[in-house]
Amino acid sequence: MAKLSPPGDTDDSTAALVIEFRNVGKTYRSLLGNSVKAVEEFSLVVAEGEILGIAGPNGAGKTTLIAMMLGYLRPTTGTVEINRVSARHYVERHGIGYLSELIAINPKWRAETALVRFATLAGIAQSEIPRRVGYVVDLLGLAEHRDKKVKALSKGNLQRLGLAQALLRDEQILVLDEPTHGLDPVWTQHFRDIVGELRRPDRTILIASHNLDELQRLADRVAIIDRGRLQRVVSTTYENTGDGSTTQPVATRFRITLASGHELIRAVFPQAEDAGRGEYDVTVHSLPELNAALADLIGKGALVASVIPERSVLEQQFREAVGESQ
From residue 136 to residue 175, the character string flagging contacts with other proteins as x (rule: CB under 8 A) and all else as - is: --------------------------x--xx--------x
Are the beta carbons of 304 and 264 closer than 8 angstroms?
no
Position among 6, 56, 97, 228 found at the interface with other proteins (CB under 8 A):
97
Which residue stretches of the chain are H helix?
62-69, 87-94, 111-121, 129-139, 155-166, 185-198, 212-218, 265-268, 287-299, 313-325
Are the beta carbons of 258 and 304 closer than 8 angstroms?
yes
Closest by alpha carbon to 20, among 98, 95, 99, 85? 85
Position among 39, 50, 94, 205 found at the interface with other proteins (CB under 8 A):
94
Beta bridge partners of 258: 304
**DSSP labels for 113-127?**
HHHHHHHHHTT--TT
Position among 13, 120, 189, 241 found at the interface with other proteins (CB under 8 A):
120
Residue 183 host element (H or E):
none
From residue 65 to residue 84, the character string flagging contacts with other proteins as x (rule: CB under 8 A) and all else as - is: --x--xxxxx----------
Supply the minimum distance, in Å, between the C-beta of residue 278 and other proteins.
51
State phi, psi for 288 to the nearest 5 degrees: -60, -40
> What CA–CA distance (Å, rounded) separates 321 from 252?
16
> What CA–CA distance (Å, rounded) separates 300 from 268?
9
Where does residue 81 rank: exposed (0-12), middle (13-18), buried (19+ CB within 10 A)? middle
Supply the minimum distance, in Å, between the C-beta of residue 64 and other proteins.
9
Rule CB under 8 A: say whether 95 interacts with other proteins.
yes
| Opening angle at CA 91, ends 85 and 92, nearest 5 | 100
> What CA–CA distance (Å, rounded) separates 316 from 325?
14
> What CA–CA distance (Å, rounded) separates 273 from 275?
6
Supply the minimum distance, in Å, between the C-beta of residue 67 and other proteins.
5
User: Smaller CB distance to other proteins: residue 166 or 321?
Assistant: 166
Rule CB under 8 A: say whether 104 interacts with other proteins.
yes
Rule CB under 8 A: say whether 92 interacts with other proteins.
yes
Rule CB under 8 A: say whether 6 interacts with other proteins.
no
Supply the minimum distance, in Å, between the C-beta of residue 210 and other proteins.
19
Rule CB under 8 A: say whether 86 interacts with other proteins.
no
Rule CB under 8 A: say whether 61 interacts with other proteins.
no
Supply the minimum distance, in Å, between the C-beta of residue 102 and other proteins.
5
User: Smaller CB distance to other proteins: residue 88 or 192?
Assistant: 88
What letter would DSSP give residue 110?
B
Residue list 213-272, contact with other proteins (CB under 8 A): none
Supply the minimum distance, in Å, between the C-beta of residue 243 and other proteins.
32
117-125, 150-158, 200-208, 286-294 -> range binding other proteins (CB under 8 A): 117-125
| Positions in the binding site for other proteins (CB under 8 A) | 67, 70-74, 91-98, 100, 102, 104-106, 108, 117-118, 120-126, 162, 165-166, 175
